[in-house]
């Protein structure tokens, strides 16, 4: 019981720390940089302030409000999933990976829910500031996700003789992302690299929990 409690606290500390760091970075960038402004750190690392209105890489597949609610529902399911693996006494490493993914998701959800109502519009000429709730650039659940990390680690132009893309510029890694995105990516990569068997086994636990569920919403 004591071991389970320590793992629960371990997961909570990771989640809170990631969310805190993510939000501090986003608020500092949003309240100190104009939209599109870029700070050169090294030749392969820039702080470039942009905002993402949709999902990963700026995709807008479904309406914004549905995207936000979909993220919230997935996060609620992930809370349940983490509680299952903690009670099943999974390793600290596995719990850390899942906590990283959950924390990253929540970090971006906070932007979507709150940023539209507590900040005014960022622009190329004006820095955003906090405003009274409701006087922001959008309604609740319609906020944009703040991104800032740009890592063009490899840049070159394709040879002119290359079919179709000849002469075009190639950049790796071109997407601009945030600390929450990095947390999600690291959690997923570590899960795949070190805990694939544990991940498969955990779904057996989930299936078992669903099969044994006897609450008021149980399907007959």
- For the four alpha carbons of 64, 34, 151 and 99, in that order, the dihedral sign comes to negative
Query: Who's near 124: CB < 8 A, 6+ residues apart?
Result: 34, 35, 36, 37
Long-range Cβ pairs for the range 197-206 (8 Å, 24+):
198/90, 198/91, 198/94, 199/94, 202/81, 202/84, 202/85, 202/88, 202/90, 205/84, 205/85, 205/88, 206/81, 206/84
Q: Say which residue the tokens 């970090």 belong to.
A: 107
Catalytic-labelled residue, pool 22, 111, 139, 147? 147
Q: Is 22 a catalytic residue?
A: no
Q: Which residues pair with 40 in a beta bridge?
A: 46
Q: Which residues pair with 39 in a beta bridge?
A: 47
Q: Is 139 a catalytic residue?
A: no
Helices (H), 31-139: 64-87, 92-110, 116-118
Q: Catalytic amino acids? A: 147, 181
């Amino acid at each position: 019981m004591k071991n389970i409690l320590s793992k629960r606290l371990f997961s909570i500390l990771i989640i809170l720390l990631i969310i805190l760091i993510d939000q501090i970075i986003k608020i500092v960038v949003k309240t100190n940089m104009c939209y599109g402004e870029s700070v050169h750190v090294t030749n392969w690392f820039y702080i470039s302030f942009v905002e993402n209105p949709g999902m990963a890489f700026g995709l807008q597949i479904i309406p914004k409000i549905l995207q936000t609610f979909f993220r919230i529902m997935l996060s609620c399911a992930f809370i349940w999933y983490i509680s299952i693996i903690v009670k099943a006494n999974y390793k600290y490493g596995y719990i850390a990976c899942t906590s990283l993914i959950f924390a990253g998701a929540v970090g971006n959800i906070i932007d979507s829910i709150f940023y539209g109502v507590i900040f005014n519009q960022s622009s190329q000429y004006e820095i955003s500031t906090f405003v009274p709730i409701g006087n922001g650039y959008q309604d609740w659940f319609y906020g944009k996700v703040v991104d800032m990390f740009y890592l063009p680690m490899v840049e070159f132009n394709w040879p002119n003789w290359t079919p179709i893309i000849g002469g075009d510029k190639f950049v790796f890694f071109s997407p601009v992302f945030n600390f929450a995105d990095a947390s999600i990516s690291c959690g997923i990569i570590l899960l795949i690299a070190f805990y694939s068997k544990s991940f498969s086994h955990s779904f057996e636990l989930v299936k078992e929990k669903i099969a044994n569920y006897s609450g008021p919403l149980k399907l007959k």
